[in-house]
């Protein structure tokens, strides 16, 4: 019992444990295993796979078992039941009444004969005179039969022998639809990888921002001490101290916001990998800019791959429409047994088999219109493939140009940020010497923070464009 409790406690701790110092590579592995959107897409794949099985199954035909239980006193039904059960007798046709009338005729012929023996001549004469009344007899056994219970068991097998290529092409289409669903899953994966990598690099930039803000906070703390000393010597006033204290509060507020953004990024990463994350190993450098050519785009872009698969599907769809102009041939076999009791099988079973050929000769031109529509759709999709190739290359070229521009801006703002730091230090020295006011000094510090924020913003934009370019080639 204690062992069971220990196992439950350990299992609970494992379920509640959060990941610490999670690396990007490990996060990408967990993403593929746990991400809920990827799982949904994979379930969609499975559904498409079963569509292939459904089309394949049609080639093997269908076997149906049918059991029918009936009870009726309708003369037509009862007579039909008996015939189907192979139980019909002449009595069911009303022959009992007919034979009675014939017997009376024989007796009358004997009474007319001098020897009181049946006489065919007299019988024929009587039959000729009374034939109409005999034929007018309404037999009770046929017209008012007793209710009969009828159990009919049939097993039938239907199989298509030739469909003009329709089933073959439907199988090709469902197979390609399955492959297209796998491409859709790859697209979902690529998008989730992009989001995960972007979150990791965002945390890296936030860490850099927090580190720089902490350095600025320490510098402000040192400045407060300097002002206190200068106040004691009469070189600074109380408002100088209050102004610096207000700047410190502003920096602390920015730090709190940065830390909150970091927490939000952790929540988003946790959502993506469906597991709680408390800390990560954020990348310290920018993502690598991939080498992208027209061939790379054509061979690796998932949108182009999906468009190509769609083109193949539309080509198979043309063949499906052509099949409507060809005959279809199917075979049918049926075996059955009928009786007045359930599961009372005898050697009175029956069978039916046959072959049917069918071909539409005229339907107002609807099939012709459908074929032409399929051909037009093929031309449309082939044009979309060309458009996708050109559009993706244009997008790649635009991203490459934007990355180049942002790289130059990053270098520029790195220099501006370093310069603003040096200006701040210079003004700090001048403030100590009484050459500038505390306001001038804090303005320079605000400029330093502004350059830092702008630098990190541009780095973030550059990272996003690089990751978008990687996503474009499914990298």
Say how many Å lie between the first and final Cα of the chain, rounded.
Answer: 51
Chain segment 410-466, per-residue pLDDT in tens:
999 999 999 999 998 898 888 888 888 888 888 998 999 999 999 999 999 999 999
pLDDT digits (tens, 9 = 90+) for 13-65: 444 567 999 999 999 999 999 999 999 999 999 999 999 999 999 999 999 99
| Reported pTM | 0.80
Q: What angle do CA 222, 218, 253 make, to 5 degrees?
A: 120
Domains of the chain with CATH codes: 18-58+164-325+364-472 (1.20.1600.10), 65-148 (no CATH)
Going by C-alpha positions, the residue among 278, 285, 283 that lies closest to residue 262 is 278
Instruction: Indicate the SS3 state at residue 71.
Output: strand
The pLDDT assigned to 190 comes to 95
Q: Residues 34, 292: contact at Cβ < 8 Å?
A: no
Asked if pLDDT for residue 102 goes beyond 50, the answer is yes
Confidence at residue 230, expressed as pLDDT on a 0 to 100 scale: 81
Tell me the pLDDT of the chain averaged across its residues: 86
Write out the two tokens for 223. Answer: 């400045």
Give the strand order in the sheet containing 148-162. 62-72, 148-162, 328-339, 350-358
pLDDT at 8: 43
User: Given this model, what pLDDT does residue 249 score?
Assistant: 92
The pLDDT of residue 159: 94
Mean pLDDT of 331-344: 85
Residues forming beta bridges with residue 144, ordered by sequence position: none
């Amino acid at each position: 019992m204690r062992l069971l409790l220990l196992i439950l406690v350990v299992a609970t701790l494992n379920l509640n444990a959060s990941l610490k110092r999670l690396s990007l590579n490990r996060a990408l592995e967990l993403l593929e295993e746990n991400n809920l959107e990827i799982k949904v897409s994979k379930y969609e794949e499975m559904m498409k796979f079963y569509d292939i099985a459904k089309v394949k199954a049609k080639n093997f035909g269908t076997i149906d078992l049918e059991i029918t239980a009936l009870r009726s006193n309708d003369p037509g039904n009862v007579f039909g039941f008996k015939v189907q059960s192979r139980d019909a007798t002449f009595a069911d046709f009303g022959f009992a009444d007919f034979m009675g009338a014939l017997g009376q005729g024989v007796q009358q012929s004997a009474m007319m004969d001098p020897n009181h023996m049946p006489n065919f001549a007299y019988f024929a004469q009587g039959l000729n005179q009374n034939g109409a009344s005999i034929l007018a007899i309404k037999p009770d056994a046929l017209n008012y039969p007793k209710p009969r219970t009828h159990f009919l068991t049939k097993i039938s097998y239907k199989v298509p022998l030739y469909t003009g290529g329709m089933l073959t092409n439907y199988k090709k289409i469902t197979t390609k639809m399955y492959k297209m669903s796998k491409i859709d899953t790859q697209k979902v994966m690529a998008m989730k990888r992009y989001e995960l990598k972007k979150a990791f690099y965002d945390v890296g930039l936030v860490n850099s921002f927090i580190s720089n803000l902490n350095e600025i906070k320490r510098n402000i703390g040192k400045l407060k001490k300097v002002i206190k000393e200068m106040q004691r010597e009469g070189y600074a006033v109380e408002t100088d101290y209050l102004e610096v204290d207000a700047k410190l509060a502003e920096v602390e507020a920015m730090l709190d916001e940065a830390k909150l953004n970091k927490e939000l990024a952790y929540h988003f990463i946790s959502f993506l990998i469906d597991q709680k994350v408390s800390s990560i190993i954020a990348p310290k450098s920018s993502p690598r800019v991939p080498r992208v050519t027209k061939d790379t785009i054509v061979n690796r872009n998932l949108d182009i791959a999906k468009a190509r698969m769609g083109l193949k599907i539309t080509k198979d769809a043309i063949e499906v429409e052509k099949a409507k102009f060809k005959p279809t041939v199917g075979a049918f076999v049926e075996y059955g047994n009928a009786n007045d009791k359930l599961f009372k099988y005898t050697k009175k079973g029956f069978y039916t088999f046959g072959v049917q050929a069918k071909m539409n000769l005229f339907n107002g031109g609807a099939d012709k219109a459908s074929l032409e529509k399929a051909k037009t759709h093929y031309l449309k999709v082939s044009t979309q493939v060309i458009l996708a190739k050109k559009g993706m290359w244009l997008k790649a070229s635009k991203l490459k140009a934007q990355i180049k521009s942002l790289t130059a801006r990053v270098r520029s703002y790195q220099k501006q940020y370093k310069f603003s730091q040096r200006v701040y230090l210079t003004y700090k020295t001048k403030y100590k010497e009484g050459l500038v006011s505390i306001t001038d000094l804090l303005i320079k510090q605000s400029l330093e923070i502004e350059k830092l924020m702008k630098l990190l913003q541009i780095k973030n934009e550059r990272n996003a464009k690089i990751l978008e370019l990687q996503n474009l080639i499914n990298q």
